[in-house]
Amino acid sequence: MISIGVPTVPLPLLLVPGSLCTDVLFQAQISAFKSDREVLVGDFSNCDSIETMATKVLTEAPAEFALAGLSMGGIVAFEMFRQAPERIERIALLGTNPRGELPEHVPVRHQQINNIAQGGVESLKTLVSQQLMPKYAFKSEQLLQLEPLVMEMALDVGTDEFINQWRALASRTDSWSTLKDIHCPALILCGVHDAQCNEKLHRNMALEIKHAKLEIIEEAGHLSTLDAPEQVNKALENWLNS
């Protein structure tokens, strides 16, 4: 047998989780793709700005990779692209928002930070169940399955990282102008029931990115990787192989 050239090695897949989320957010994706490529989950702990989060993840990432970020992970992905576009061979943006924080939301975040700083874990539990879950759940049986996972992740992340993440989100840069600079294979994915980052926003994002592939996932809300893992995995597989 004669071998000519270097065997193709699949790109590493770097997954960046959303706020108050851990690798549990991507458990189905890790299981699906780890057999044929390196799969990594970005860690932006101990950072209180999107810029420093992106820098930390890039520092720990391979030289080149496929990048997928969900929610806040997508916001970090925009900044990673600005800092090192030559290293990102593919980008997938799931349930995310390229816009900066709305001015009227900043004092709300600051109040939430104060509540958690004073009330600790119990205040964090209340925030997850009363303020986050209504935005994540779209039917009662899905809520029953999803809330324990979301609560587990939030408690694992903890109150200190909550404060870091909320500060970063409150001061984030508007990334809309970055979209036109993305020329690598891009996937824009949204759950049809996403009340946090809606379908219209994702359709508009896809129009800004040349040759972007848009996927709207039925029976999924904001946390599409947990709500509809098989459909998300299929979309990611097509994107990775495009």
- pLDDT digit string (tens) for 2-32? 445 445 689 999 999 999 999 999 999 999 9
Return the pLDDT at 3.
Answer: 42
Q: Which residues contact 90 (CB under 8 A, 6 or more apart)?
A: 11, 66, 67, 184, 185, 186, 187, 239, 240, 242
In CATH, 13-101+174-240 is 3.40.390.10:
no
Domain boundaries, the chain: 13-101+174-240, 103-169
Q: What is the mean pLDDT of residues 71-76?
A: 99
Question: Pick from 166, 157, 149: which is nearest to 223 by CA?
Answer: 149
Q: What is the pLDDT of residue 108?
A: 97
Mean pLDDT of 97-103: 97
Query: What is the C-alpha separation between 12 and 148, in angstroms, rounded?
Result: 30
Other residues' Cβ atoms within 10 Å of the Cβ of residue 133: 15
CA distance 188 to 226: 17
Mean pLDDT of 40-46: 98
